[in-house]
Amino acid sequence: MNTRGTARPGTARPPGLSVRIKLTLSYAGFLMVAGVLLLAVVWLFLLRYVPDSSALVDLYGLPVPSRSDLEKAFVPRAVWAMVFLLVFGLAGGWFLAGRMLAPLTKITAATRQAAGGSLSHRIGMPGGQDEFRELADAFDTMLERLEAHVGEQRRFAANASHELRTPLAITQSLLEVARNDPDTDTDELIARLHTVNSRAIELTEALLLLSRAGQRSFTPERVDLSLLAEEAAETLLPLAEQRGVGLEVSGEVAAVAGSQALLLQMVTNLTHNAIVHNLPDHGTVRISTHVVPGGAVLAVENTGPQLAPEILPTLTEPFRRGNERVRTGHTGDGHAGAGLGLAIVKSIVTAHRGTLTLDALPAGGLLATVRLPAP
């Protein structure tokens, strides 16, 4: 591949003319061309029909100017007119180019601030809609999303480091106790280490899945949400029976385009979350699918304690738990809660260009609605 003449990011480019100078020269050049064409028209349609003879006289006996006489009078003035057009074109072109490129200067300054790490700056270009203002608005939107994404990543990294530090610290403490106490029960130590290690592995796998979903590294295929709902319900049926929660699956064939593995993980996480955060011994989880114009909908509804509306937006953030049972790191059934279930669901839904809506039910519990586009 020929890379001659290209500049890599971060390398110095050779000096060149600015866009303002190029536009100025273009304006002046077009003005000069227009002047030359005008003079050519005068020559072709006026002077060429004047005879080149000084012997002609008019009705009053006065000599008629010949073509040579007209050329001597016309050419110097035409030259001065062209000089004036050149100066006027350069000055006017410089002014007009500066006015037209002023929005681009603001966009460039904002880009340099963003490259320096300042994502809070916004261009806020005033005036009517045109190409530059459309670019500025798109740049502001990109900065807003990028700032939100970076903030989310920072919070996620801080929470992840904290969560991963906990099982490692517990493992180190258990090993220190075992080393200092020769009479430690080996079987109990192994069981506790196995539990802590399983939690660390589960958390790491969840982090990898969350990263994979965010990168959209999958090949879309036709997937039926109703089949995924049945498979997830069948997989989690033992957990539901253990907690005394009833599972109900209903709906119609709902085809979408996406990764079957990721979408199955999405349905499984929603169902697992609905089982865990439910009323013990007499709770219910209802999973339904149906087709809507332009896509398909998956709804997972569960009974449970009442949720305050203000905490609903935070449930999809990484390491957010819905109640005290999971805040302690345990869901009551031996399954460690990493607080990534709904965060993974949101990431998968976003990767499939869908929407996730969480609604608190008046009688208690949560309704999670996923809408995905049709294949």
Cα separation, 49 vs 69, whole angstroms: 14
Q: What is the mean pLDDT of residues 26-32?
A: 83
145, pLDDT greater than 70: yes
Cα separation, 145 vs 344, whole angstroms: 19
In a domain, 243, yes or no: yes
Structural domain that includes position 260? 219-375
30 vs 165: which has the higher pLDDT: 30
Q: What is the mean pLDDT of residues 318-322?
A: 60
Contacts 24+ apart (CB under 8 A), 109-113: 110/136, 110/139, 110/143, 111/139
Q: What is the mean pLDDT of residues 231-245?
A: 90
In a domain, 83, yes or no: yes
In a domain, 54, yes or no: yes
Strands of the chain, DSSP E: 221-224, 245-251, 255-258, 283-292, 295-302, 355-360, 366-373
Distance (Å) of CA 39 to CA 27, 29, 45, 46, 88:
19, 15, 10, 10, 17
The single-letter DSSP state of residue 312 is G
One domain, residues 90 and 237: no
In a domain, 187, yes or no: no
Q: Which of 62, 88, 118 is the last residue of a domain?
A: 118
In a domain, 164, yes or no: no
Cα separation, 328 vs 325, whole angstroms: 6
Per-residue pLDDT at 307: 87
Q: What is the mean pLDDT of residues 130-158?
A: 78
Q: What is the mean pLDDT of residues 214-230?
A: 83
217 vs 337: which has the higher pLDDT: 217
Q: What total number of domains does the chain contain?
A: 2
The single-letter DSSP state of residue 48 is G
One domain, residues 233 and 375: yes
Residues 247, 287 contacting (CB under 8 angstroms):
yes
Per-residue pLDDT at 324: 40
Residues 304, 283 contacting (CB under 8 angstroms):
yes
Residue 267's pLDDT band, with cuts at 50, 70 and 90, is very high
Q: What is the mean pLDDT of residues 26-50?
A: 78
Per-residue pLDDT at 371: 95
Residues 271, 285 contacting (CB under 8 angstroms):
yes
Do β-strands 355-360 and 366-373 pair in parallel, antiparallel, or remain unpaired? antiparallel
Residue 325's pLDDT band, with cuts at 50, 70 and 90, is very low
> Which tokens go with 151?
């903030």
Mean pLDDT of the chain: 78
DSSP result, 142-162: HHHHHHHHHHHHHHHHHHHHH
281, pLDDT greater than 80: yes
User: What does the pLDDT look like over 150-182, one tens digit per residue?
Assistant: 776 776 676 667 667 767 777 887 788 778 877
Lowest average pLDDT, out of 149-153, 322-326, 345-349, goes to: 322-326
Per-residue pLDDT at 290: 93
70 vs 294: which has the higher pLDDT: 294
226, pLDDT greater than 90: yes
Residues facing residue 287 across a β-bridge: 249, 300
296, pLDDT greater than 90: yes
Q: What percent of the chain has pLDDT over 90?
A: 18
Q: What is the mean pLDDT of residues 40-52?
A: 71
* CATH number, domain with residue 235: 3.30.565.10
In a domain, 213, yes or no: no
Closest CA to 346 of 310, 327, 372, 308: 372
One domain, residues 249 and 114: no
